[in-house]
Structure 1
Amino acid sequence: MEYYARSENKNKEKETVAQHAIRVAKYAEENAASFGKGYEGRIAGQFHDFGKMGHRFQDVLKGIESKINHEMAGACVVRKRYGLLESLEIQIAIYSHHKGLNFALQDNYNNYFDAEFLDSHGRKMSIADPEEFGNAFQIFMSEIKDNNNPIKAPIYDCCKNTKIEQMLAIRMLFSSLVDADYTASAEHFDSHIIDESEGDSLDTQVWIKSLMEFRNNIKQKSSADKHLNRLRDRVFDNCISAAKKPPGLFTLTAPTGMGKTLSLLAFALKHAQEYNKRRVIIVLPFLSIIEQNAKQYRQIHNTILEDHSQTEYDEKSRLYADRWHADVIITTSVKFFEGLFRHMPTDCRRIHSIANSVIVFDEAQCLPHDVICATLETMNALCKKYNSTVVFSSATQPAFSYRKDLDWQPVEIINDNATLFQHTKRVHVNWRMDGKTGFSDLAKEISQSNCCCAIVNIKKHSVEIYKELKSICKSDSDSLFHISTDMCIAHREAVLKEINYRIENKMPCRLVSTQCIEAGVDLDFDKVYRALAPLDAIIQSAGRCNRNGRLLQGEVVVFIPEDERYPDAAYENAANIVKLLSKDADIDIYNANHIREYYRKFYQTFSQDKGDLTKAIDTLNFEGVTNAYQLIPNKGFTVIVPYTKSLELFKEICETARTEGLSPLLMKKARTITVNIYNKKIKDVGEQLYFKPTKAKQEKALSNWFILLDHNLYNEKTGLQLENSESLNTII
């Protein structure tokens, strides 16, 4: 009898379990070899589908049976053959390769040969008869023709690893197996799939040459102050020099406007060249920054893989992105960490590709405080155990060393960065902490400046100040602008384009905005007002003032708004630390000691990760970690809005969504005209959409997406104006 792994392909060919096992073992071994676990990967690949050798699974292929667990049989073989503890990583990887990582194997082992036993998903075991199991094993071993020499040393040592390290080790092997299984399965149906899903290997010589040419071209066209350009050269040169240092954990701490985007890439490429790293991965917190940086990187070299929640792929490109087998990858924090802290196969598939890479985190201050320890301990493990180099870059580098639950000893790339901050002192900060500032008074002050920006913490405040300003500047309303995440991306981009045009041409320009412009947005105002906020937010806001050194000194005014409200309690607590420190003396945002003191007090307040995350890690609960590790909230509604300049797209999206339902491709196409909100009022003024039925799921399922029906609720100046609406932070 032949035992088949899956249905026949277009050539009427069926693949046997043994043929599939040999193929998966080869790919899993190649994947895991990058972190020294090639042999373990091969064993996992060989036995992952052993359970398909039973008659119950063969009946599944014939359409006779369903709900059969074929994974557990392979885990049983590995346990018996290589030992319970020694091969635990392999057992978990095999057992989990369809339903997600699960540490609880013992109940399944104890009841495996009970013919009626059901696993936690209500499935019977594929080979529940001991005699059938033994016969299947003999046939399988003769077909794969591999003697499987005993493992020479334990491959799982829980005594020497922290819980984070144990979970990462399991995820890495799991990733190697899942990718190998998915790839081999796809190859059965398309023999060219491997070539199509493999990107170029990293050619550092070509990349570095193109980078140098691109940077020289920018320097020749730059209108920035010569002193500022010299400082940018210093940062770039420091990155080139530091790239020769041994792999490990680095920080890059430099003021805003120092050209860190290209300098970080230079470090990564030179370091990869020096130490033969496989790829460069650039991780950013905001989609707006990714699109901006990716556009710049593609001008240097066009092989970059841009992978985030809004990237559009065809079927073949999707496989390429799923594997991360590319030379340079740019992605979001959410996309990067969802693999490292989630438990499902599709999320974890790519993470083996992180090993032996250079990983750059820009805007490191954006990491939420309640997941810091888990995040940074994982980064430490990637450096120590997976041959990766990690760089955290920021103008406001968090002093993570003040967290008592964390071992944090990075190497700083910039020589004497304290002096660098003093040399880039482009603004004077006026700390207006004696009393509260009214919105009407603030609007009057803004109206008296020709090139000014006010950044506040609450969208309601931004709208109120904008309206006050509009009533004052009736004869010069063209100079007034508003930006918040209540405006869709297309709207915000159009406003930013107009603002930059006016600034470059020395035309009056007055902007009221929320925090959404603080990072990754190149604006250069003469004067910036900033509502009291965490110190890192204030420093980022100051980076929008006199950015290119056009003035001898710009001015930043930090004020307490008359309605002193904040996005959340953590934000308020951090702002109060700034208020407390400023009572003793004005804070110097260019003084490293002042910044360190802020973080010392900050991490006294925020001294540990959230409790449910810590508990899940301590108990090796993979699904619990998935639920607890959240960089952004999952709740809210997505609203498709009728932005005037994108009305044709709005009409097209609405028509398709109504007739066919929402598909991933349509959602990505619509993203430039969507706004994310919490406000449930959208249910009264919007049309809720259904997901497009699929082969696996034929019934209509309601989504959290809506079409805005009342077009008057989308304002051409301030965006979506539902009563008391609060948008989600755009970190995805």
Structure 2
Amino acid sequence: MTHFFAHSGDPADLGTWQTLPDHLDQTAGLAAAAAQTAGLSRCAELAARFHDFGKYDPAFQRRLHGDPTPVDHSTAGASLLLDRAPAGPQRLVAEVLADAILGHHAGLPDTNGSDAARARRIGRFRQSDPVPADITAATQIDLAPAVAEIIGKIRPGDGFDLSVAGRMVFSCLVDADFRDTEAFYASLEGRDIPARDWAGLQDLLPALTGAFDTRMAGFGASDLNRLRSEVLRHIRAQAALAPGLFTLTVPTGGGKTLASLGFALDHAARHGHRRIIYAIPYTSIIDQTAATFKDLFAGLGDVVLEHHSAIEAEQPGAEGRDKARLAMEDWAAPVVVTTNVQLFESLFAARPGRARKLHNIAGSVIVLDEAQCLPRKLLLPALRMIEVLAHHYHCTVVLCTATQPAFDSAQLRQGGLPLAGRELAPNPETLAQDLRRARIVQGGPMTDSDLVAALGASHQAMVIVNSRRHALSLFEAARSEGIDGLIHLTTRQYPTHRRRILADIRDRLKDGAPCRLIATSLIEAGVDLDFPRGWRAEAGLDSIVQAAGRVNREGRRAIEDSTLTVFEAVDDPVGGEIAQLAKAMRAVARTRNDLLAPEAIRDWFDEVYWRVGPERLGQPMVDAFGLSRSGTDLPYRTTAEQFRMVEDRMVPVIVALEGAARAEVARLDVAEISSGKLARALQPFTVQIPAKDRDTLIRNGHADYRRADLRGDQFCVLQTPSLYRAESGLWWEGADYLGDDALQTFMS
């Protein structure tokens, strides 16, 4: 009898190799289990059973025995499903499953277009099917159970619904394939798979809720804390409401982060959700929120996953041991704290590593903290994805912010969400008045010299500008004037470093020490700082209001003395999107004297959202997914390229200046330690930079991939320590023409 293998073992002992039927059976079982919460078990099982059908190709078997000739093994199973499916619903399902199979190494394809699209790949394969005819003839396929599942996940003619179902199946397949491959090679090499079996949220809920209640009971009895407690009680009382979409509108300083967590815990206990996901726009808030949750649940074991650095570079077409070494995060933790970029770009991703986590989003309570930060150009596809998760995949989504955007379908007429009657907070209008602690004033044009003078005259104050470049130049100008207590905070600094800086700022503010902070918008949404006054460069009104929330946050000062001055940055004028948002802010300021009033915020969101029209809010990305009697048109790959929250692709560089970071980098040499575990450990020591700039650093010897032979292109480590400065973080500009000696002189 001829044996067909999926993965090779000891060349001298075929008994150590994994047979193809075993791999297909085991992957199918894992995929079906992963898809249960999404309600797509039969679909995922069927895709998994045929994902490696092309390994029956004799050429692939020769490859396992050492023939280096590349072999496409991902098309055969997709072609077989499409050949066996009659027109109608079965054909539709076959196309969705075929896309998952075609993409399980190279990524989800478009239906039409490039040479990598489904139509062209299937057309080329059918010209010379290499799978033995007797194996194909003996293979039985039953699409009916999968059809029943898919039909339940789409509304009539809704191609976007269908695309999300396809993404869920793809996620389950990729995750199952990875796990089975990892388990085989771990067993072959006599090593244990690193423990990462998270406890289930439902099992943990009594302990988590107990820890939460204990912490809330320990807050002081100030007027502000009493108001926060009333808000919390009201919000938690809404947990019995049916799962779905909610808004939570609480002004800055009203305790909305902890209130939303209390709601999420109670709501999950009532409705059986299996994890809580916090998505946050800025890494600085992730640092703070994850630290708050970890401290809150200390002593309860591994509960909170903090995921933002995206050390997940993949080798396209990775197979065998290479696949098992990829650092891919699956979000199986009971509580996940991540970025908007990670959440939404994963939901629209085509790449296997990023899409692997999607099935674990099903059945979650998702809190979109600072929901107003969703980018305008991607707004409608993002909102549509939120709606589908709530409608079809048992998700509850809370839009949590101090400045609730106009996402309601009554305001955002095309693509809005059904949010009427779903506000969790008690009377947001009254709360806005009760929690007011600062005022906004107009400062007019201000030069950098004006700002430096204003900082110098203020014992404690902050200046927020719109670009890292401006923040750094302003910091250097202020430092040249000898201003005491000067601090610069930037995303160029790695997370552990930023946490120390923020702790120092809080200590200075509390102790009355000099503290003059210059930063970008990374501090203005959710960062727990309390300055007496501040200056904010013109931007959107949502940013202005958030910045005002860092002034007199704890309400210890008179409102009249607690000012945020909005100014026109003469030396760094804004352009592009920020200029448009600032223009809308000025238009509202001409008709509303009080920019902190809920009416002003509503006017501004109306101005920047529904008046611009659906085309500029990303509606074409929603409409691109087609479903008709003639079949599907699912542009997965094109949409993944278009759905970019950050224009330049950002990639991580590890800054191993601290002992803890150096120790983790050294562990990259240990083959038995998984890349995923190391990626999580190194995440607090990474800085995200544009991909082209990282390439420049590598080309000039300032960074390199540590143990590329073992880890591939996943762990890029800074090799020139002088490129990192405590005051300004990682400096990558100029690395193309300056050597190490020149850099040290240039940066001194």
**TM-score band w.r.t. shorter chain:** 0.7 to 0.9
Query: Which of 622, 628, 633 pairs up with 2:647?
Result: 633
Distance 1:28 1:702 in 2: 26
User: What do residues 35-89 of structure 1 show as CA deviations (whole Å, max 9, x unaligned)?
Assistant: 2222222222323223333433322222347332333332233334443234322
The residue that corresponds to 1:7 in the other structure is 7
**Cα 1:502–1:66 shift into 2, 3 Å:** same
Instruction: Confirm or deny: 8 A CA contact 2:310 2:651 kept in the other structure.
Output: no
The residue that corresponds to 2:46 in the other structure is 43
Instruction: Confirm or deny: 8 A CA contact 2:304 2:336 kept in the other structure.
Output: yes
Identity of aligned residues (%): 28
Instruction: Confirm or deny: 8 A CA contact 1:164 1:374 kept in the other structure.
Output: no
The residue that corresponds to 2:199 in the other structure is 200
Per-residue deviation, 1:91: 2.4
Distance 1:311 1:720 in 2: 18
Distance 2:731 2:417 in 1: 44
Give the AA of the match of 1:484.
T
Distance 1:110 1:490 in 2: 51
Paired residue secondary structure (1:322): coil
Instruction: Confirm or deny: 8 A CA contact 1:439 1:561 kept in the other structure.
Output: no
Instruction: Confirm or deny: 8 A CA contact 1:581 1:587 kept in the other structure.
Output: no
User: What do residues 550-575 of structure 1 show as CA deviations (whole Å, max 9, x unaligned)?
Assistant: 11325223333351645541111101
Query: Which of 335, 339, 344 pairs up with 2:346?
Result: 339
Distance 1:228 1:156 in 2: 50
User: What do residues 697-732 of structure 1 show as CA deviations (whole Å, max 9, x unaligned)?
Assistant: 98xx899986558x5x8666455678899xxxxxxx
Instruction: Confirm or deny: 8 A CA contact 1:399 1:600 kept in the other structure.
Output: yes
For structure 2, the 5+ residue unaligned runs are 112-116, 313-320, 627-632, 669-674, 736-748
User: Using CA pairs below 8 Å that are at least 6 residues apart, which structure has the higher relative contact order?
Assistant: 2
Paired residue secondary structure (1:499): helix
Distance 2:693 2:31 in 1: 47
Instruction: Confirm or deny: 8 A CA contact 1:69 1:126 kept in the other structure.
Output: no
Distance 2:185 2:451 in 1: 65
Query: Which of 270, 275, 279 pairs up with 2:271?
Result: 275
Instruction: Confirm or deny: 8 A CA contact 2:6 2:55 kept in the other structure.
Output: no
Per-residue deviation, 1:270: 1.0
Instruction: Confirm or deny: 8 A CA contact 2:290 2:337 kept in the other structure.
Output: yes
Distance 1:722 1:319 in 2: 27
The residue that corresponds to 1:600 in the other structure is 606
User: What do residues 399-443 of structure 1 show as CA deviations (whole Å, max 9, x unaligned)?
Assistant: 1234343131222111211111110011122233xx423443443
Instruction: Confirm or deny: 8 A CA contact 2:440 2:566 kept in the other structure.
Output: no
**Cα 1:528–1:19 shift into 2, 3 Å:** same
Instruction: Confirm or deny: 8 A CA contact 1:487 1:718 kept in the other structure.
Output: yes
Aligned length: 684
Q: After the TM superposition, which of the residue ranges 485-494 and 293-302 deviates more from structure 2?
A: 485-494
Paired residue secondary structure (1:200): coil
> How high is the TM-score relative to the length of structure 2?
0.80
* 2:555 matches 1:541: no
Instruction: Confirm or deny: 8 A CA contact 2:704 2:718 kept in the other structure.
Output: no
Query: Which of 274, 283, 289 pairs up with 1:287?
Result: 283
The residue that corresponds to 2:399 in the other structure is 392
User: What do residues 683-704 of structure 1 show as CA deviations (whole Å, max 9, x unaligned)?
Assistant: 6997443334644898xx8999
Per-residue deviation, 1:359: 1.2
Give the AA of the match of 1:260.
K
* 2:223 matches 1:212: no
**Cα 1:641–1:282 shift into 2, 3 Å:** closer
Q: After the TM superposition, which of the residue ranges 593-602 and 449-458 deviates more from structure 2?
A: 449-458
Distance 2:569 2:281 in 1: 31
The residue that corresponds to 2:303 in the other structure is 304
* 2:422 matches 1:415: no
Q: What does residue range 146-545 of structure 1 map to in structure 2 within 5 Å?
A: 148=142, 150-151=144-145, 153=147, 156=150, 160-190=156-186, 196-202=195-201, 203=203, 204-217=205-218, 219=219, 222=220, 226-299=222-295, 300=297, 301-310=300-309, 322-401=329-408, 402-410=411-419, 411-432=422-443, 435-463=444-472, 465-466=474-475, 469=478, 477-485=483-491, 487=493, 489=495, 492-545=498-551
**Cα 1:61–1:394 shift into 2, 3 Å:** same
Instruction: Confirm or deny: 8 A CA contact 2:280 2:368 kept in the other structure.
Output: yes
**Cα 1:33–1:674 shift into 2, 3 Å:** closer
Give the AA of the match of 2:415.
L
Per-residue deviation, 1:505: 1.4
**Cα 1:626–1:471 shift into 2, 3 Å:** closer
Give the AA of the match of 1:286.
Y
* 2:32 matches 1:24: no
Instruction: Confirm or deny: 8 A CA contact 1:483 1:513 kept in the other structure.
Output: yes
Q: What does residue range 44-123 of structure 1 map to in structure 2 within 5 Å?
A: 44-64=47-67, 66-83=69-86, 84-102=91-109, 103=111, 104-115=117-128
Instruction: Confirm or deny: 8 A CA contact 1:197 1:317 kept in the other structure.
Output: no
**Cα 1:611–1:260 shift into 2, 3 Å:** closer
Distance 2:333 2:394 in 1: 18
Distance 1:290 1:637 in 2: 18
Distance 2:464 2:284 in 1: 18
Give the AA of the match of 2:212.
L
Per-residue deviation, 1:635: 4.8
Instruction: Confirm or deny: 8 A CA contact 2:326 2:711 kept in the other structure.
Output: no
Paired residue secondary structure (2:6): coil
Distance 1:386 1:641 in 2: 39
Instruction: Confirm or deny: 8 A CA contact 2:724 2:730 kept in the other structure.
Output: yes
* CA root-mean-square deviation: 4.1
Q: After the TM superposition, which of the residue ranges 395-404 and 268-277 deviates more from structure 2?
A: 395-404
Instruction: Confirm or deny: 8 A CA contact 2:284 2:498 kept in the other structure.
Output: no
**Cα 1:478–1:182 shift into 2, 3 Å:** same
User: What do residues 271-314 of structure 1 show as CA deviations (whole Å, max 9, x unaligned)?
Assistant: 1111111222222222222232222222314332424243889x
Instruction: Confirm or deny: 8 A CA contact 1:87 1:156 kept in the other structure.
Output: no
Instruction: Confirm or deny: 8 A CA contact 2:308 2:338 kept in the other structure.
Output: no
Paired residue secondary structure (2:398): strand
For structure 1, the 5+ residue unaligned runs are 116-124, 142-146, 658-662, 726-732
Instruction: Confirm or deny: 8 A CA contact 1:369 1:606 kept in the other structure.
Output: no
**Cα 1:41–1:320 shift into 2, 3 Å:** same
Instruction: Confirm or deny: 8 A CA contact 1:430 1:558 kept in the other structure.
Output: yes
**Cα 1:671–1:85 shift into 2, 3 Å:** closer
Q: After the TM superposition, which of the residue ranges 203-212 and 190-199 deviates more from structure 2?
A: 190-199
> How high is the TM-score relative to the length of structure 1?
0.82
Per-residue deviation, 1:616: 5.6
Instruction: Confirm or deny: 8 A CA contact 1:85 1:156 kept in the other structure.
Output: no
**Cα 1:194–1:42 shift into 2, 3 Å:** farther
**Cα 1:149–1:547 shift into 2, 3 Å:** closer
Paired residue secondary structure (2:246): strand
Instruction: Confirm or deny: 8 A CA contact 1:186 1:193 kept in the other structure.
Output: no
The residue that corresponds to 1:730 in the other structure is none
Per-residue deviation, 1:450: 2.6
Per-residue deviation, 1:337: 2.3
Paired residue secondary structure (2:505): helix
Query: Which of 617, 620, 631 pairs up with 1:609?
Result: 617
Per-residue deviation, 1:539: 1.0
The residue that corresponds to 2:584 in the other structure is 577
